Each structure stands twice: as C-alpha cells, then as structure tokens.
Amino acid sequence: MLRLEGLRAGYGPVTVLQDVSLEVNAGEVVTIVGGNGAGKTTTLRAICGLIRPQGGRITVDGRDTSRLAPPEIVDLGITMIPEGRQLFPFMTVRENLMLGGFKPAARARIPERLEEVLTLFPRVRERMTQLAGSLSGGEQQMVAIARGMMANPRLLMFDEPSLGLAPLIVKQVFQIIDTVVASGTTVLIVEQNIVHTLQIATRGYVLENGRVAMSGPGPELLRDPHVKKAYLGV
C-alpha cells in the first residue's frame, strides 16, 4: 500500500532523513521506533505531504505521492493522528469529530460514519457535548483517534500516541489501537514506548540518525540485543 524508497527529507537546507526505505502492506501493523530526534515524526510528515522529499520516492498503491498536497493524500485514504492530539479545545467533542469527516468523500456519509466510529469508541459517545479541552489526556487521545477514524482511512498513522499519558491510560490507548487494527484499518505507529508496539507489529523499523538501522518482525526486534540495550536499557 505504502512504500518509501531511499527517502531523503528535512527542513530547509537541513536533511534529517538520509535514507529511509520501508513498506506498509494492507492489514499490517508497522512501527517505526527510535530515540529522540531520529526522524520518526519527519517520516510521517513527509508521507502526509506536510514536507516535500528532498530525494527518493514515496508511493501509495504504486503512485508517486511526493508532489501531492496533504488533502490529496488524505483522499488516498491516509490519515495521521498527530503528536499531542491537536484537538480544538473550545469546540465540543462532536464538532472535533465532524472535522475529521470533512473531506468530500467522507462528508456525504458523516452520520453513518459517526455511528460506526462511536460504536468502536463508546467512551467518546458519552462525552459528545463536552468541550474537548475539558477532557482528560487519555480521553483527548481517544477523541483524536476517533477523529482520525472519521475520515474512514485505509492507513491510519499514529505519532507517539502514548506520549505524556499515565501508564494505566497508555494501556487503554493501546487497547484502542488494537480495536482500530481489528476493524481492518492498516496502521503505522511511531512510538518511543517500544515494548507494546513491537509486540503487536507485523514489522518494525529502527530509525537511527535518519536511516533505517534494522528491521524485522516486531517481536523479533524486541529480542534483539542491540534494541534491548539501546531502547530498553537492558
């Protein structure tokens, strides 16, 4: 579905991603792990069209998307849940969810889609009239995921979904991600909390200094001595 080949990308004259190749196939859960500043978020931004690649290729179903604008990439079925949730705090949960269904293809089906999404996330249904900013961090993350699902994505990308959340809430967030996966949505997750993500990942990529240092089935990477030492301190 998604393929990066020798991707080079960064900000202005700065190159952050030197050479990133990876693929995500339909039905997979793929994760990119790595330390601070490795280039994980930059990879997601390039996929979404928020930054233009400096070199290499990004293709979706074989089509080069390097020159497409972000809304065109959303139209191909690719949606990102950004780091820090980025909800509109002074709008209600319902209004935030509506914005997730804004693209033309999704707009026509908002009522049905809302019902499908609320069936997946019953906790969100209970909060529909509340201002998004008044929710707890964990609830806000649920709303951010539900908003992403409103676009009915084929590929949902998560940027650090557990960041800043208490351990119990992190567990709930990963249960929600499991729900998304079970609903048939393909998932690409960027995380520093590597234990859970690698356990569920069909394939993981370890990003170091803008390059893919290692890749393989998630559980296998989790057993790798280098990964254990560098990311788990054992």
Q: How far is the CB of 51 from ligand ATP (least distance, A)?
A: 8
In the numeric block, the tokens 């370890």 are attached to 206
* Smallest separation, CB 209 to ligand ATP (Å): 10
Contact string (CB under 6 A) for ligand ATP, positions 175-214, x = contact: -----------------x----------------------
Measured from the CB atom, the residue of 51 and 73 that comes closer to ligand ATP is 51
The values of phi and psi at residue 13, to 5°, are: -80, -5
Separation between Cα atoms, residue 35 and residue 96, nearest integer Å: 31
- Rounded to a whole number of angstroms, the minimum distance from the CB of residue 175 to ligand ATP is 23
Pairing of strands 29-33, 55-60: unpaired
Site membership for ligand ATP, residue 37 (CB under 6 A):
yes
Determine which residue in the list 6, 11, 102, 226 makes contact with ligand ATP, applying CB under 6 A: 11
Q: Does 41 bind ligand ATP (CB under 6 A)?
A: yes
Burial of 100 (C-beta count, 10 Å sphere; 0-12/13-18/19+): buried
CB of residue 98 vs ligand ATP: minimum separation in angstroms? 29
Select the span of 36-44, 89-97, 144-152, 193-201 touching ligand ATP (CB under 6 A): 36-44
- What H or E segment, with its residue span, contains residue 72? helix 70-75
Concatenate the DSSP letters of all residues of 28-67 into one string: -EEEEE--TTSSHHHHHHHHHTSS--SEEEEEETTEE-TT
Nearer to ligand ATP, 32 or 146 (CB): 32
- Partners of residue 59 on adjacent β-strands: 3, 64
- Choose between 37 and 70: whose C-beta lies nearer to ligand ATP: 37
Count the site residues for ligand ATP by CB under 6 A: 12
Residue 164 in the binding site for ligand ATP (CB under 6 A)? no
Question: What residue has token string 């992190």?
Answer: 170
Beta bridge partners of 131: 92
Residues that bind ligand ATP (CB under 6 A): 11, 14, 16, 34, 36-42, 192
